C-alpha cells in the first residue's frame, strides 16, 4: 500500500473517529444557541496567563453586554482538533472558538468554508496594527487552506517561543556558572551534568502529547536554517529535500543527543506534563518548553532558575498563539468580533503580559517583574528580527501524529535519523501534493 493511500485511509478513519467523539464535545460546543446566548469555546487552562486574561475579558464583555447570556465553555486542545469539523457543520454552533493554527488544522477549516472570513472586522477594529510581521502568517489562509496569504480567518492574542528552562542550582553543582553561548558549549555543559549523574534535559516522547522530543528535534533543525528554508517548508512554497541541510544535520544531531543520554531514557511513555514535573522535582537540569509553563515554573520551582533560547541558533522555534475564529454558521458574529477585540484590548493584554503570557498588543515596559519583562523583551527581539521558525506539525494534515510516532521510535532507538528522514520525505511530499491539489 502506498503512503498516499495510507494517508487518505487515515483521514477517512479520523473522520469516523470524529463522528464517534462528537458527543464528547457537543455538551461544550454550542447547545441551544438561539441568539440570546453567546457561546465561547476555548481550551486554555484557567491558571495560565492566557486563561486568566480570558477571565478578565469575560468580565469586561459581560459589563459591555449585560443583557447577553454568556456560555463560556472549556474543552481540551485534542478534543477541539478531533471534533472541530463536525462541531462547525452542526445546526447549533458556538459563536466564537479557539482553534489550532496551521495548514493541517485551521487551514482545513478555512478551506472548507467552516470559518467566517474576518477581513472586514480586521479593518474595522484595526487588528492588523496589533498583529504584525510573522504573527500574521497563520492568521491568513488562501482558498485551498494554505497559510501565509489570503483572507484572515483567525486572530491570535499572544506570541510563543521555545526555550530551555534550567535549574541554576544543578548547574552550579557541576561548575557551570554561565549560560552557554553556542551549541558546542551547551553540549559540553550537558556532558558535565551527565558525568555527575544528572539528566541534562527532561523530555517526553509519548504519541499522545509527548511534545518535548519533537520540539528538541525541530529546534536543532531550526538552529541551522534560514528564513527561506523555513518558509518553503511551512507554506509549501518549494519542494524540500530532507536529506540536505538543515534537516539532515539537525536530525543526526538529535540522534546523537538521544544516544548520549542528554534527553533521558525511557521517554516513550512520558508526556509533556510528566516532563515538566520531572524538571520541577529536580530530576533533570533543563526542560524545553514555551511560555505555557513560564508562570508555573516561576510559582512552583523550589530552586533558583533561569532560561535561555537555544544558543547560537539562527532561527528559534516560536510562533503566534492559538487563534480565535468565528464559525461561518455562528448566530452572533458581531458579538464574536466584540469578544475578540476585548481580548486584544490594552487592559487584557497588559494583564497577560504581567503574568508572562507574551501579549501581541501589550506594553513590555510596564511589566513589574524583571524576569518576566526580560522574557517578554526577548520575544519582541525575535519577532523584530524575523527569526521565529514556527512549529513543525503545521504544514500537512496528520503531521503531528506522524512526527510524534517517529519521535517515539527514535527515542526508543528503534529508528535512526536516516530512517526518520526517509519517512519524513515521503509523508511530507504526499501530504504536500494532496494539500496543493486541494
- Say which CATH number the domain at 269 has: 3.40.190.10
Residue 289 lies in a domain: yes
3-state secondary structure (DSSP) of residue 169: helix
Beta carbons of 122 and 340 less than 8 angstroms apart: no
CA distance 413 to 264: 12
Looking at the structure, tell me whether residues 149 and 283 fall in a common domain. no
**Residue 29's pLDDT is what?**
35
Specify whether 72 is located in the same domain as 90: yes
Query: Phi-psi region for residue 390, left (φ > 0), alpha (ψ -120 to 50) or beta?
Result: left
Task: Supply φ then ψ for residue 160, to 5 degrees.
Answer: -140, 145
- Asked if 269 and 417 sit in the same domain, the reply is yes
Name the residue with higher pLDDT: 287 or 356.
287
Q: For residue 91, how many other CB atoms are within 10 A of its CB? A: 7
What are 319's strand-pairing partners?
A: 160
pLDDT by residue (tens digit) across 380-400?
999 999 999 999 999 998 999
Verify that 358 and 216 share a domain, yes or no: no
**Same domain flag for 108 and 196:** no
Within-domain flag for 113: yes
If asked whether residues 367 and 311 sit together in one domain, one would say: no
Co-location of 133 and 73 in the same domain: yes
Residues 304 and 432 in one domain: yes
Whether residue 382 lies inside any domain: the answer is no
Domain for residue 384, yes or no? no
Where a domain ends, among 347, 377, 407?
377
Same-domain check for residues 141 and 125: yes
**CA–CA separation, 74 and 53 (whole Å):** 14
Overall number of domains in the chain: 2
pLDDT 10s digits, 160-203: 999 999 999 999 999 999 999 999 999 999 999 999 999 999 99
> Residues 258, 173: one domain?
yes
User: Looking at residues 326-339, what average pLDDT do you find?
Assistant: 97
Residues 107 and 217 in one domain: no
Question: pLDDT per residue over 54-111, tens digit each?
Answer: 999 999 999 999 999 999 999 998 898 888 999 999 889 999 999 999 888 999 999 9
Within a domain: 282: yes
Domain that holds residue 120: 3-159+321-377
- Do 133 and 17 sit in the same domain of this protein? yes
In a domain, 391, yes or no: no
Amino acid at each position: 500500500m502506498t503512503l498516499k493511500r495510507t494517508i487518505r485511509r487515515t483521514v477517512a478513519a479520523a473522520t469516523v473517529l470524529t463522528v464517534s467523539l462528537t458527543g464528547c464535545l457537543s455538551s461544550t460546543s454550542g447547545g441551544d444557541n438561539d441568539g440570546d446566548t453567546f457561546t465561547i469555546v476555548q481550551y486554555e487552562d484557567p491558571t495560565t496567563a492566557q486563561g486568566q486574561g480570558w477571565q478578565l475579558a469575560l468580565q469586561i464583555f459581560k459589563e459591555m453586554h449585560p443583557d447577553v447570556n454568556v456560555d463560556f465553555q472549556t474543552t481540551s486542545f485534542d478534543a477541539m482538533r478531533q471534533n472541530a469539523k463536525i462541531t462547525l457543520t452542526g445546526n447549533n454552533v458556538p459563536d466564537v472558538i479557539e482553534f489550532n493554527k496551521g495548514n493541517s488544522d485551521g487551514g482545513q477549516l478555512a478551506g472548507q468554508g467552516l470559518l467566517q472570513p474576518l477581513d472586514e472586522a480586521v479593518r474595522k477594529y484595526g487588528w492588523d496594527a496589533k498583529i504584525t510581521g510573522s504573527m500574521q502568517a497563520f492568521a491568513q489562509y488562501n482558498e485551498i487552506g494554505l497559510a501565509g496569504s489570503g483572507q484572515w480567518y483567525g486572530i491570535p492574542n499572544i506570541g510563543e517561543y521555545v526555550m530551555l528552562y534550567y535549574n541554576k542550582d544543578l548547574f552550579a553543582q557541576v561548575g557551570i556558572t554561565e549560560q552557554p553561548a553556542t551549541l558546542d558549549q551547551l553540549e559540553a555543559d550537558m556532558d558535565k551534568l551527565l558525568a555527575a549523574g544528572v539528566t541534562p534535559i527532561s523530555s517526553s516522547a509519548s504519541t499522545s502529547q509527548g511534545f518535548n522530543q519533537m520540539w528538541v528535534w525541530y529546534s536543532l533543525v531550526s538552529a541551522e536554517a534560514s528564513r527561506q528554508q523555513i518558509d518553503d517548508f511551512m507554506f509549501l512554497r518549494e519542494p524540500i529535500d530532507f536529506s540536505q541541510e538543515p534537516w539532515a544535520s539537525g536530525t543526526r544531531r538529535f540522534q546523537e543527543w538521544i544516544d548520549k543520554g542528554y534527553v533521558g531514557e525511557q521517554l516513550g511513555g512520558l508526556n509533556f506534563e510528566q516532563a515538566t514535573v520531572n524538571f520541577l522535582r529536580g530530576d533533570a537540569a533543563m526542560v524545553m518548553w514555551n511560555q505555557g509553563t513560564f508562570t508555573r515554573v516561576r510559582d512552583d520551582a523550589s530552586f533558583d532558575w533561569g532560561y535561555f533560547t537555544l544558543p547560537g541558533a539562527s532561527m528559534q522555534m516560536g510562533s503566534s498563539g492559538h487563534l480565535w475564529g468565528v464559525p461561518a454558521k455562528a448566530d452572533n458574529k458581531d458579538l464574536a468580533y466584540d469578544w475578540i477585540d476585548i481580548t486584544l484590548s490594552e487592559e487584557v493584554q497588559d494583564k497577560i503580559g504581567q503574568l508572562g503570557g507574551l501579549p501581541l498588543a501589550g506594553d513590555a515596559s510596564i511589566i513589574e517583574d524583571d524576569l518576566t519583562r526580560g522574557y517578554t523583551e526577548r520575544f519582541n527581539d525575535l519577532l523584530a528580527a524575523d527569526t521565529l521558525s514556527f512549529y513543525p506539525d503545521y504544514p500537512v494534515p496528520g503531521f503531528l501524529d506522524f512526527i510524534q510516532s517517529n519521535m517515539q521510535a527514535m527515542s526508543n532507538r528503534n529508528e535512526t535519523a536516516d530512517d526518520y528522514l526517509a519517512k519524513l520525505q515521503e509523508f511530507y511530499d504526499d501530504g504536500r501534493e494532496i494539500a496543493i491539489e486541494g
